Amino acid sequence: MNSSAVALERVEADDRAEFKDAVLAGLSRTPRAIPPKFLYDARGSALFDAICELPEYYLTRTETGILRRCVGEVAALAGPDCALVEFGSGSSVKSRLLIEALPALAAYVPIDISRQHLDATAARLRVDYPSLKVEPVCADYMALTELPTELAAARRRLGFFPGSTIGNLEPADATAFLRRARTLLGANGAMVLGVDLKKDPRRLHEAYNDAAGVTAEFILNLLQRMNRELGANFDLAGFQHEAFYNAAAGRIEIYLRSLRPQVVRVAGRRFAFAAGERIHSEYSYKYDDAGIAALARSAGFAIARTWTDRGRLFAVVYLDAIP
């Protein structure tokens, strides 16, 4: 086995140990909850890509449409010689719009926890943009404390956090993440943030309860992942995906609900579920203008510009660091 295969095996073993600890802790607490980042194994990521194509899931295509229309203005606000820093880059599809619009881009810095994703994306970008300096950082962007030193030469660091992933963070964590980003981007920094907006609850309900059942499959995949990786014996027919909009809290809440009393074995431990008992899987917070402004302010940013679509489904905001 060569050294990169050994390193990959070590990363996979670490990931599995982290997953096991989080699952055992999450199933032992009341109410039961497993952090949403574990939804994204290879199958979960593929299912999420499929969600983004669903007719009910307006977020991705609406944000992409807004970005297509606003990248020229983003480029004018940011100016030349920026380093574009993407938090949780995945396959960097939306960042290509910015890469192509930003004048004299100094570097593109995709940050992602998946080494495989990151290497594949960086390789593709280097082929498609031969003169672009690509500086990938393999890290959990929620815990990142520094950026590559080569970026010091860029005139401005422009952060990019699309997809309304900010909505999957509890408000205090969203503020903590943006504060950390503000520190990484510096006093002259700026941030382009994609945020899903509050709207007709029926529209929100449909986006997380699609007719084809892909969202249900995505959430139920968490049980399959436990079966695959932790030797669990979840019966998938014994649990149901449940998603609804909690208007008072301004968020979609997603759970796995046990359909009957059952005992499940996970990593050598036994967990008894009552009929109707739930495992919390994800929140997806929705914002309004005042909420976005408050969030930005709490993290040391000011809104320079907001773009939305005609139906005001989604917003892309340009935030300036408050020096």
Residues forming the site for ligand AVI (CB under 6 A): 51, 59, 163-165, 167-168, 208, 215, 282, 284
Which of residues 114 and 165 has its CB atom nearest to ligand AVI in the complex?
165
Q: Pick from 164, 64, 147: which is nearest to 108 by CA?
A: 147
Which of residues 64 and 78 has its CB atom nearest to ligand AVI in the complex?
64
Which of residues 165 and 221 has its CB atom nearest to ligand AVI in the complex?
165
Pairing assessment for the beta strands 262-266 and 251-258 based on DSSP bridges? unpaired
As a whole number of angstroms, the distance between CA 248 and CA 246 comes to 6
Q: Pick from 171, 240, 242, 170: which is nearest to 205 by CA?
A: 242
Which of residues 105 and 174 has its CB atom nearest to ligand AVI in the complex?
174
**Beta bridge mates, 245:** 252
| Distance in Å, CB of 57 to ligand AVI, minimum | 7
| Distance in Å, CB of 78 to ligand AVI, minimum | 24
Q: How many CA atoms lie within 13 A of 91 on its CB side?
A: 6
Write the CB contacts of 2 (distance below 8 Å, at least 6 apart in sequence).
none
| Distance in Å, CB of 50 to ligand AVI, minimum | 10
As a whole number of angstroms, the distance between CA 137 and CA 148 comes to 8
Give yes or no for a contact between 145 and 123, defined as CB atoms under 8 angstroms apart: no
| Distance in Å, CB of 215 to ligand AVI, minimum | 5
Q: Which two tokens stand for residue 306?
A: 């907001």
**Beta bridge mates, 287:** 197
Give yes or no for a contact between 126 and 135, defined as CB atoms under 8 angstroms apart: no
| Distance in Å, CB of 48 to ligand AVI, minimum | 6
**231 phi/psi in degrees, rounded to 5:** 60, 30
Which of residues 159 and 167 has its CB atom nearest to ligand AVI in the complex?
167
| Distance in Å, CB of 243 to ligand AVI, minimum | 7
Which of residues 95 and 168 has its CB atom nearest to ligand AVI in the complex?
168
| Distance in Å, CB of 164 to ligand AVI, minimum | 5
Which of residues 159 and 163 has its CB atom nearest to ligand AVI in the complex?
163
- Strand segments (E) across the chain: 32-33, 82-87, 107-112, 137-138, 156-161, 190-196, 239-246, 251-258, 262-266, 269-273, 278-285, 301-308, 314-321
Which of residues 202 and 270 has its CB atom nearest to ligand AVI in the complex?
202
| Distance in Å, CB of 155 to ligand AVI, minimum | 31
Q: Pick from 160, 127, 140, 168: which is nearest to 11 by CA?
A: 140
Which of residues 134 and 220 has its CB atom nearest to ligand AVI in the complex?
220
| Distance in Å, CB of 140 to ligand AVI, minimum | 15
Enumerate helices (H) and strands (E) in the chain, giving the number of each: 9, 13
